[in-house]
Amino acid sequence: MRTLVADDDLIITTILSNALSRNGMQVTVAHDGDVAWQALNSVQPPALAILDWMMPNLDGLELCRRIRSTPRLASMYVILVTARDSREDLVAGLEAGADDYMAKPINIAELQARIGVGTRVAKLQQNLAQHVKELSSTRDHLARMASTDVLTGVYSRRWWFDMAEKEFARARRYNRTFSLLMADLDWFKQINDTYGHEAGDKVLNQFGDMLRKTCRKSDVIGRLGGEEFAVLLPETSAEAAQSLAARITKACLSIIVDPSAGEGKCSCSIGVTEVRQQDDKLDAMLTRADQALYAAKRAGRNQWSFAA
């Protein structure tokens, strides 16, 4: 564990660092307040600091206050050492943010005991900080893994890919067919630019609703990113997939961007493909659907195209 000893008295710093080293601590020594403040602000700050009250430049009391008002140092365990031993001084020290208070002359047994307490608390703080770090990384992971896209209510990208991989494996295993649609809203950047990002979000939300209403319950709808969606159609032939694509393209036209003003038509382009014997991975289908989608875009948008 890293520790800092700050005292302008060389004898005191020697006694303190020896005691700390005997406890297996890594000790940094400072002989004035400025140097101590620099050491406290190093990349890896000490977990325990023993500070003299009276030091040149910055005194221990001021250091305590600074430590407590610096979020990254706030959990540091601080022992204030001083020859001042009145009750008022003790209160002032604790109020400035010290965790413990030790009067000079230093008694070795007392010092050892107080270092023991400080180490225990500092270790608990470090464990707590580690736990908080782990929890927040778990939370981020869970958010990434969440099944639903908040804006549209359809499956999130990650989840959709998981489901699609499973359906691909299942269909191959039992020699079943299935199809895939890739849909992308047309001129969506222009919609955002004209009506604002919030209106754009509402369009995405309506598009998700429309997909859910237009598709079957067994179809797997996902938002792959931005204004791009994919629908997996289990047990569905190319013909049936194309007729669904036609219905989606038509239904999209009834989404109004700014309903209060009754203006702003919306359209989408769709790429359609059916699984093929030679497809060894889902990727092969995705690439085909993507190419068909871009063919539909090139052909003028507001239409679907089949990857023949």
- Are residues 78 and 99 in contact, defined by beta-carbon separation less than 8 angstroms? yes
With CB under 5 to 8 Å by kind, the binding choice for 297 among ligand GH3, Mg ion, none is ligand GH3
With CB under 5 to 8 Å by kind, the binding choice for 158 among Mg ion, ligand GH3, none is none
User: Token pair 């955002």 is at which residue?
Assistant: 192
Provide the mask over 166-205, with x wherever binding to Mg ion is found by CB under 5 A and - wherever it is not: ------------------xx--x-----------------
Nearest to 219 by CA among 207, 229, 232: 232
Provide the mask over 144-163, with x wherever binding to ligand GH3 is found by CB under 6 A and - wherever it is not: -------x------------
Pairing of strands 100-103, 77-82: parallel
Least CB distance to Mg ion at residue 149 (A): 15
Return the number of the residue (4 or 296) whose C-beta is nearest ligand GH3. 296
Return the number of the residue (81 or 257) whose C-beta is nearest ligand GH3. 257
- The size of the interface with ligand GH3 (CB under 6 A), counted in residues, is 17
**In whole angstroms, what is the distance from residue 178 CA to residue 165 CA?**
12
Nearest to 184 by CA among 92, 287, 266, 87: 266
Is residue 186 within the footprint of ligand GH3 (CB under 6 A)? yes
Is residue 195 within the footprint of ligand GH3 (CB under 6 A)? no
Euclidean distance between the first and the last CA atom of the chain, given in angstroms as a whole number = 66
Give, in order, the Cα–Cα distances in Å from 34 to each of 7, 30, 74, 286: 11, 9, 18, 62
* Long-range contacts, stretch 8-15, CB < 8 angstroms, 24+ apart: 8/32, 8/52, 8/54, 8/55, 8/56, 9/52, 12/52, 12/81, 12/104, 12/106, 15/106, 15/108, 15/111
User: Token pair 């939370």 is at which residue?
Assistant: 139
Torsion angles phi and psi, residue 278, rounded to 5 = -80, -5
The piece of 7-15, 89-97, 182-190, 283-291 that touches ligand GH3 (CB under 6 A) is: 182-190
- Options 85, 110, 201, 235; binder of ligand GH3; rule CB under 6 A: 201
- Options 8, 187, 194, 212; binder of ligand GH3; rule CB under 6 A: 187
Identify residues 216-255 at the interface with Mg ion (CB under 5 A): 226-228
With CB under 5 to 8 Å by kind, the binding choice for 200 among Mg ion, ligand GH3, none is ligand GH3
**In whole angstroms, what is the distance from residue 42 CA to residue 63 CA?**
15
Provide the mask over 211-250, with x wherever binding to ligand GH3 is found by CB under 6 A and - wherever it is not: ---------------xx-----------------------
Q: In this chain, which residue has its C-beta nearest to ligand GH3?
A: 200
With CB under 5 to 8 Å by kind, the binding choice for 196 among ligand GH3, Mg ion, none is none
Least CB distance to Mg ion at residue 216 (A): 25
Show Cβ contacts of residue 111 under 8 Å, excluding neighbours closer than 6 positions.
Answer: 15, 16, 19, 102
**Which residue(s) pair with 53 in the sheet?**
none
Least CB distance to ligand GH3 at residue 157 (A): 12
**In whole angstroms, what is the distance from residue 190 CA to residue 265 CA?**
12
In the complex, which residues of this chain contact ligand GH3 (CB under 6 A)?
Answer: 151, 184-190, 192, 197, 200-201, 204, 226-227, 297, 301
The site for Mg ion (CB under 5 A) is made up of 184-185, 188, 226-228
